[in-house]
Structures are given as structure tokens and as C-alpha cells.
Amino acid sequence: MSGSIGTRDITAPGVRIPTVLAAVFFVVCTLQVTAEELGLRTGANATARYELEIQPQPLGAALQEFAKQSGIQIIFFSKLTDGHEAPALSGKYTPETALNALLQGTGLTFHQIDSKTIQVEPKTSLPRAANPPPTGTTLQQTSYEAHPMQLAVRDTGPSSSSPAGSEVPESDASVGPERSQKVEKSTEELNVITVTGSRIITENVRSPTPITSVDVGEIAMTTPSDTADALNKLPDIIGGRTPRTQGNGSTNNGGNVLSLRNFGPSRTLVLLDGHRVAPSNQDGTVNIDILPQMLMSRVDIVTGGASAIYGSDAVAGVVNFVLDKKFTGLTVKADVGESKYHDGSEYQLGAAWGTALFDGRGHIEASARYRHQDLIPISARPYGADGQAWLLAGNGSPTNPYVNVPYSRVFNSGQFGNVQCGKACPYNNYTFNQPGILSPMVHGIPTGTANLESGGDGSYVKYGTFRSGLAAKDVFTRFSYDLTDTTNWYVQGTWAEAENTSNWINWVVSPSVSRPNTLFANNPFLAPVTQQQLGSNIVCGTPGADGWRCLPAAPATSPQTGSKPPAPPTTPYFSAPSYIWNKVDGQNVNIGNRLYRTLSDEKTWNAETGLTGNLGNWDWDVF
């Protein structure tokens, strides 16, 4: 630190004023340096103790977890933490003791910027983030509330405190150009920093809407199976479709289709490098299993509505998958696993390769992946085995809160039919617990949802699917070339197939008025006593038939053909809606492949070429 003080030479007995001022100046400077060296010991939160639970993991991830649990902002260069492992921490720690434990043996130390911000750095000298920043290259400017902060890298030239005109030592001068190149390379390699915590969000300062940026490598640490599985864990993504979503085959309910904030997949736009992905489902949505996940670098989620830019399919927001367009080297991924119930086996094999061409002006990369997972029937889980059939009932209101209902049954569609034979018939809400023999249906315990009861003779899905089977394949390749320093040309292509398989419901006789089912009382499969109970001795069109279910009389002349139609049967009819028939011909429907099986097989290919570049502060993209 240097400075100058203007004084007049005023003499007092035994004391000179310049000497006193110089002494005061020296003491102040000394106190300032000492306070800075104390680091965390002088911070407002130095003595605060935080309950920490950090597992053994790479150092970068451990620092991010520390920031999350303590609420303290951590700034570090990602290159410094690569290759270092952090030990486990469990218990209450001060920030100083926790960081000392995490950084032990790494050659790194830490420096407190303010009461809630700490920078990790080598024990040897490295430029520190400060406010105001030192002279150097500003990496990024952000703000939190009214407290501005800049993160900077100081120029690595001669120290500003060196006397003007001082000479470079001969040993340094002899290798000046080589040393300069090494310094520049080092600076270039360290100019990407990682900021943890929530006080500084790197892209929001330039974005008109909030952005959540998810690093694919980081989420792979917690969810190594698939990027789609990891994204479905995010709180913003809810209400979409996954392999655990079942349907009747009219849409691909077994695929991975994203939905932001439960607005529905049709209101969530999916992009690949900022370009729309062509729909892969018949309802216009995108199954993200078809995207080249081996070359993904991150996923940007615009959590605010973006319909003003993209249209109504982005009302809920945008999910943008960003490729690593400069991937170099070879990566091979292989994994296999199963559930804790020793079923649901899944395996995955993938590879990605990339290299620079034409002295770095060109680049080519390619990837391929195959992923398989077995179908899991609902009966293979405790909440679906032995007729348990747990369902969610209620509407979430104070008077009808959500509750989980065991042994759920749909009463108006009995397991073996729910007889409806007219108001004059005394056998409404009877069922066929024995073939052809009527018996009264037993009610279960009512719930907050109409026709849903816990227990009783209602119906349930016995042979449905807990998780769909999946077979996904994708191949991708991309070539790019720098036409000029500011213009890049690229061409890329992808082919993908995703096949989903599930067991939906077995057989349905609908209770809906729009889809009536009709059985006559004299049906030969009914026992004679049952035929009489259901009105086989009643003659339609007579006074005794009032209140029974009879077909209307035929018109004298058909309006379509002009001929006289045959007379309708004079025997009353009944309906017996059954939501699920779990037996056919006396056998369980899972025997002999009598299940209603849905299959979705999606194939997609895409070819794209375009130009990207910049003009001053403007980036442009034509494709």
C-alpha cells in the first residue's frame, strides 16, 4: 500500500508533526492488514455454528452442499477443485472449522469477502474477488438487493506496487515469451468460475424472465440413470408424463414428457440449443427420451411464462437442452441396476466422441445410446399387491382434504358387475359373486371422492402397470466449421426411437349413459331363479312392466328404409357395468395374455444446418 501526505514543517519540543502522522499512518495500515489476515475470525458469522450433513464426494460438490446448508456464498474456480475429494462432515461446525476440514490436504485455503461471502483460493497468491474490483478482466457483474458485487480476475502482469522502471530479473527475461504464454494459458483456463448458493444467479441479470440452469454432470451424481429421471425430481417440473404414468394408448403416457408447474405438457415448450424440437407424440408434445443426452452440457429452464416470444405452447415456460458443441475425447457410459424388490431391471450403454479439425477451426462430434428398462406390474408393489390398490381421495379443501385410501374400490362398477334393472326391480346394486347368481353388493367405507370406497365389492385394477417398459435408442452427429472469426457453419442430424409398453386395464363394461350395456333378463347364462328376479316373467308394453327397463316400441315405418322394422323383445333388460373383469373364462386375465396391452413406438429423425455468429454485441442464428 502506498500514499503521500502533504505537511508543513512545524516543530514542537521534541516532536515533529510529519513523524507523528507517519506513525499514525503506519499503525492504521498495519491494523488494516491484520484485520484482513484474520479472515473469518473477524466476520459477523465467525462464531455461528451450522448443523451440517455432507457426504464424502468431490470437493466442488461438497462446497456447493456447504453453501446450501449454511446459507454462505462460496466462490471458487472450478479448475482448482477438480481431482480433489472432500471428507464427510456430520454435526455442528463453524464456517472456519468446516472449510478447514473440507480443504485439508488440497493446497487450498479461503478468504472472507464479507459476512456472507467466502472465496476459496490456493495457499499461494491468487487474485481475489473484491469490491471495488482490482484492475483486471471482469468476468461477471451481478447484484443482490442493493449491494453490488463484481467477480474479477486480476491481470497477471507485474505487480502494480513494483517501482516504476524496475527491471525484470535476468532469469525471467530469458524466457519471457514462453512464460507469458503460460501465464495467458493459465488465466484462460481459470476464467470460468463456479458460484454456489442463491445470492448470485449468473444468467438472470441478462434475462427478462427467471432461469434455472441445471448442469448435466452435477445431476448425474444424484441420478446417474437418465437426465429425464433427474429433471422429474425438480420442484418446477410436475404434472407431466413418466414411465409411471399410465393411459389407454391414445397418447404416449409411458414416455418422459415434461410439464412446468402442472400447466400440462402442451403448455411447456422443449428446445434443443434454442431451436424447437419437432413433436414426437400425437398430441404435439415431445418425448425427451429421443434427445441426444450423451452430449448434453446443461438444461436451462425458463420458469416464467414465455408465450410472448414463443407462443401459447410456452405459457408455462421453456425447457432448453444445451449441447456441448466443443466436446473433445471419448466418453463411454454403461450401467445396470434393479429395484430393491429385485425387479424392474434396467441397463444403459452409450458413447460420445468428439475432436477438433483443421487447426481448431472445425469440430466433429457424435454420440449413440441404448437404454432398456423392464415393465413393473402394480401387483409387484406392496400398495398394489393382494388387492390393496392405494389411491388418493379428496380435493385438498379444509372440509375434504387429500387422504391415501387403502383397498380402494369403485362402487358403481362392481368387480363382477353392478346390476341396474329399473326402479320397480328390487335387485339394483346386486352383483354376480357367483356365475349367474345374484348377491347384494357390500359397501366399503366412504371417502371424499364419489363412488370411491375403501373395501367392499367395488372394482379395482388388479393387473395394471406400476412402471412402463422402455427401450430407447438415439444416434446423433454434428460438424461445425468457423468460416470467419465471427461466423460458424454447422450441420447436424439425429435419429431416435422410443418404445413404451404397459398393461392398461383388462375389460370394461362402462356405466356411462353414452355407452350403455344391455343384457336381457332371459339370458341363458343366468340361473333360472336369477332370470325371474330380473323380470323374465314381465311382458314389456303391459301395465305390469311399469318401472322395469324395456326397449321402446318400434315405429310403424323405419325413417331410413321406409320398411316396417321387427318388433323389439318384450323381455326387460338390465345393465351390469363392471370396470374391471380380472377373470375371463374362469381364469385370471394375466394368464394367456388376455390383458389390454398398450404399445407406443416413436421414431423420429431430424437434419439441420445453419449459421451462427455475432455482430458487435449482437448474437445471430440462421437455420
Q: Are 266 and 251 in contact (CB under 8 A)?
A: no
pLDDT at 505: 63
Give which of 199, 191, 232 is closest to 214, Cα–Cα.
232
**Residue 313 — φ and ψ, nearest 5°?**
-75, 5
Strands 519-520 and 376-377: unpaired
* 580: confidence class by pLDDT, cuts 50, 70, 90: low
Give the pLDDT score at 208. 62
Output the average pLDDT for the chain: 76
Q: What is the pLDDT averaged over residues 450-454? A: 90
pLDDT band at 35 (very low <50, low <70, confident <90, very high): very low
- Helices 59-70, 95-103: axis angle to 10 degrees equals 170
Q: How many residues does the chain have?
A: 623
Report yes or no: 322 and 273 within 8 Å, Cβ to Cβ: yes
**Mean pLDDT within 532-558:** 89
Position 142 confidence tier, pLDDT thresholds 50, 70, 90: very low
C-beta separation of 608 from 534 below 8 A: no
Among 139, 237, 236, smallest CA distance to 195 is for: 139
Q: What is the per-residue pLDDT for 527?
A: 95
- Asked whether residue 112 carries a pLDDT value surpassing 90, the answer given is no
- Residue pair 521/572 in contact (Cβ under 8 Å)? The answer is yes
Range scoring the smallest mean pLDDT among 59-63, 436-440, 540-544, 560-564: 560-564
pLDDT tens readout for residues 459-508: 887 878 888 888 889 999 999 999 998 999 999 999 998 888 887 765 55
**Residue the block writes with cell 450401467:** 335
pLDDT of residue 342: 92
| Predicted confidence (pLDDT) at residue 399 exceeds the cutoff of 60 | yes
The mean pLDDT of 571-593, rounded to a whole number, is: 74
Q: Is pLDDT at 349 greater than 80 in this prediction?
A: yes
Higher pLDDT, 300 or 164: 300
Q: What is the mean pLDDT of residues 568-588?
A: 78
Cα–Cα nearest to 454, from 413, 410, 397: 410
**pLDDT tens digits, residue range 299-327?**
988 877 666 666 667 788 889 999 999 99
Domains of the chain, start order: 43-154+179-195 (3.55.50.30), 212-376+469-492+614-622 (2.170.130.10)
Q: Is 558 exposed, middle or buried (0-12, 13-18, 19+ CB in 10 A)?
A: exposed
Higher pLDDT, 596 or 171: 596
- Rounded Cα distance between 570 and 513, Å, is 22
Residue 111 is predicted with a pLDDT of: 83
Q: Which stretch of 1-10, 282-291, 570-579, 594-603 has the lowest confidence by average pLDDT? A: 1-10
- Percent of the chain topping pLDDT 70: 71
Instruction: Judge residue 66's burial from the number of C-beta atoms within 10 Å of its C-beta, 0-12 exposed, 13-18 middle, 19 or more buried.
Output: buried
237 touches 289 (CB < 8 A): no
Local structure of residue 470 (DSSP, 8 states): E
Strands 275-276 and 193-195: unpaired
Nearest alpha carbon to residue 200 among 129, 132, 119, 145: 145
Is residue 619 within 8 Å of 612, Cβ to Cβ? yes
Q: What is the pLDDT of residue 602?
A: 81
